[in-house]
Amino acid sequence: MSKAIQKITGTGVPVRGNDIDTDRVIPARFMKCITFEGLGQYAFYDVRFEADGSLKDHPFNDERYAGASILIVNKNFGCGSSREHAPQALQKFGVSAVVGESFAEIFSGNCTVMGIPAVTADAEAIESIMAAVESDPRGEITIDLDAQAVTVGRSRIATSMPSPQRLALLNGTWDSTSVLLENRALIEATARAIPYPNNFA
């Protein structure tokens, strides 16, 4: 069974803007890979780097947010294509959870099967979290999936998450491949009981 996830604590990095799509998270030209290793360096590449490789003004380039593991975003984050490479690039960069106003459904699902909680809060709450992080980049943020809350400093903010995704993280069943492997004996027994794989014996 994969690791149960109840709480995630870390510092935050705010990336402002609605409708940030997966092509902005990782441009398609960087998806020519056999494994996902190394994708972190390409996270937000086109909005982080000029054509000559020099840095643009972007939170992922800001030293104040170095080592941040909780990404704070606005509305409809992860829209566009369903590429799994987007949450993979974020995870490889160091992101272990995302808090936002809303997420594209496939993006949040892809996050869940990687063990990355994607929790939502209302626009006012997200603005307060972003402002707090921008004011104190080293301030600690805690996401509590069981209590459905995010704590930032002295503020405790209600969050929400689709129940199946939340329970999968809490129960440690978010990695479907791991669940299948752990139930191999049951799967084989079921296969033996089905007539057609056994010539209807």
**What six digits make up the tokens of 79?**
């829209």
Q: How confident is the model at residue 41 (pLDDT cuts 50, 70, 90)?
A: very high
pLDDT at 31: 79
- Please list the alpha-helical segments (H only) found in the chain: 22-25, 45-48, 85-93, 105-112, 123-135, 163-171, 176-182, 184-193
**What six digits make up the tokens of 3?**
């690791």
**pLDDT above 70: residue 201:** no
**What six digits make up the tokens of 170?**
């809490």
Decide if 90 contacts 25 (C-beta within 8 A). Answer: yes
Q: 105-112 and 163-171 helices cross at what angle (nearest 10)?
A: 10
Q: What is the pLDDT of residues 70-82, one digit of tens each?
A: 999 999 999 998 8
pLDDT at 194: 80
Which residues lie across from 55 on neighbouring strands?
49
**pLDDT above 90: residue 152:** yes
From 70, 74, 10, 21, select the one nearest 44 (Cα to Cα): 21
What average pLDDT does this structure show over 82-95? 93
Q: Who has greater pLDDT, 172 or 197?
A: 172
Q: What is the pLDDT of residues 123-132, one digit of tens each?
A: 999 999 999 9
DSSP label at residue 167: H
Sign of CA dihedral 156, 158, 160, 163: positive
SS3 content of the chain, % helix, strand, coil (to 5): 40, 20, 40
pLDDT at 197: 65
**What six digits make up the tokens of 45?**
């590449």
pLDDT at 33: 72
Q: How confident is the model at residue 36 (pLDDT cuts 50, 70, 90)?
A: confident
Decide if 170 contacts 6 (C-beta within 8 A). Answer: yes
- Which residue bears the tokens 């990404």? 71
Q: How far apart are CA 168 and CA 161, in angstroms?
A: 11
Average pLDDT, the chain: 91
From 104, 99, 132, select the one nearest 118 (Cα to Cα): 99
52-54-57-59 Cα dihedral, nearest 10 degrees: 110
From 134, 93, 138, select the one nearest 116 (Cα to Cα): 93
Q: Does 7-198 carry CATH code 3.40.50.300?
A: no
